Chains A and B, each alone.
Chain A
Amino acid sequence: MELPKAATENSVWRSIFRHGFFATNRNRVLLVMDNVFLHLHSTKVRRRNLEITSTYFLGAIALILFAVLVGTGLLLMLYYHPSVPQAYFDMKELQFVVGNGVFLRNLHRWAAHAMVLIVFLHLLRVFFHRAFRPPREFNWVVGVVLLLLTLLLSYTGYLLPWDQLAFWGVSVGTNMVRAMPVLGAKVRFLLLGGNIVGENALLRFYVLHCVLLPLALIVGVAVHLWRVRKDGGVAGSAGRKRAKLEKETRP
């Protein structure tokens, strides 16, 4: 007990953490409230809300997958040039030459697929638990925007290997944009930086995929988590609560 005490009860520890080390209730609360990374969380949660059937931890899994994607994505960026035809060769180099390249690339790919699936399941969970009702209706909207950002991230990443699948996937997708009334052709031109899926399009999708969309997602997730706390924590299952109530009041 002497060493932790000596390590934590001095001005350096205090200047960084602003609260004591020992697990008093006050310190537990301050740990969350005084921490820039944790303050989005509520300081206290209901035990019921930590049960797996309340959330299935889908939001947390999605966040962890996003962290995996940022980590692996940053490493992939070190070997990738967004230019034609170098992008394809870099992808092949990651697969066959770079140490652990194929592992990191596949991790990025599978985490991306999993994130789309998990975010989708997360929205289904919220929907079937009726957790979108007031006061959480705004956070539902934020969640839908986050789903769209996830899909856009997935889609913009699709072009980057610059193989046939990527080229035709984006050709078809941007032709769908062109079908939009009035603005369609103009939006497609801005999106591709030209009339064909070429070098400009690859660079624009790269910037969207690596900078713009991840930043937007991070801001969105911050608002989303903060709103979970402000709206009174996760809603859990209203149905389960009702079933419990019925069981208790049954004669």
Chain B
Amino acid sequence: MSEKKSERDQATTRRHFCQATGIAACTVAAGGAAALSVDFLKPRALFEPPTKFDAGPADAIGVGDVITNEMFRAYVVRRQDGFHSMSSVCTHLGCITRYLPSDGIIACPCHGSRYNLDGEVLAGPAPRPLHWLEMDLSPKGDIEVDTSLEVPFGTVFKL
């Protein structure tokens, strides 16, 4: 009697099959609903100010030149081995620094921090070097800087 019962329990009855099918269908539907909701929460079009700017053709920038973009708060520096771009926001309290061609340094007007052209701190209260920014070539072939992406210090952009 007991053997017969356990055999019957193990066999896939119509009830078990329907239960399993139902649970599986609900799980798939719940997973789909969750995926759909997450996708819905991600905006596809953003009406945000652009973070990329065009610094002009590479040939137009001579070695040792420093281009300042005031709107995007960034510098583009042509060096012997390539290019690098830095945020002009002082790492101390967020003032906008300025390139001083006569001294060949970058200086902050607020609390006197001074940086060399690699962004390393020479003097003043700034705790860290200037942030280096992601660079790329635009479809036109111009130098392009993305101010929303930071790269490790010393990542030189080579053509």
Contact = CB atoms under 8 A, between A and B. Distances in A.
A200 B148 CA distance: 19
B43 interface: yes
B148 A195 contact: yes
Contacts of A198: 47-48
A190 B41 contact: yes
Given A193-B43, A198-B48, 16 more contacts: A189-B42, A190-B38, A190-B41, A190-B42, A193-B41, A194-B43, A194-B46, A194-B48, A195-B46, A195-B48, A195-B51, A195-B148, A196-B48, A196-B49, A200-B43, A200-B46
Interface string B35-47: 0001001110011
Interface in A191-233: 193-196, 198-200
Contacts of B46: 194-195, 200
Contacts of A199: 47
Contacts, number: 20
Nearest to A191: B41
Nearest to B46: A194
A199 B47 CA distance: 9
A128 to B, nearest CB: 41
Q: Is the interface of A mostly helix, strand, loop or mixed?
A: loop
A190 B43 CA distance: 8
Q: How large is the interface on A (under 10, 10 to 19, 20 to 34, 35 or more residues)?
A: under 10
Q: Is the interface of B mostly helix, strand, loop or mixed?
A: loop
A237 to B, nearest CB: 45
Interface residues of B, number: 10
A194 to B, nearest CB: 5
**Leading 10 A-B pairs by shortest Cβ distance:** A194-B46, A190-B41, A193-B43, A196-B48, A194-B48, A195-B48, A194-B43, A200-B43, A198-B48, A195-B148
A189 B41 CA distance: 9
Contacts of B51: 195
20 contacts: A189-B42, A190-B38, A190-B41, A190-B42, A193-B41, A193-B43, A194-B43, A194-B46, A194-B48, A195-B46, A195-B48, A195-B51, A195-B148, A196-B48, A196-B49, A198-B47, A198-B48, A199-B47, A200-B43, A200-B46
A230 B57 CA distance: 74
Interface string B11-49: 000000000000000000000000000100111001111
Nearest to A200: B43
A245 to B, nearest CB: 53
B51 to A, nearest CB: 8
Interface in B84-133: none
Contacts of B43: 193-194, 200
B44 to A, nearest CB: 11
A7 B43 CA distance: 60
A43 B141 CA distance: 79
A22 B46 CA distance: 65
A195 B148 CA distance: 9
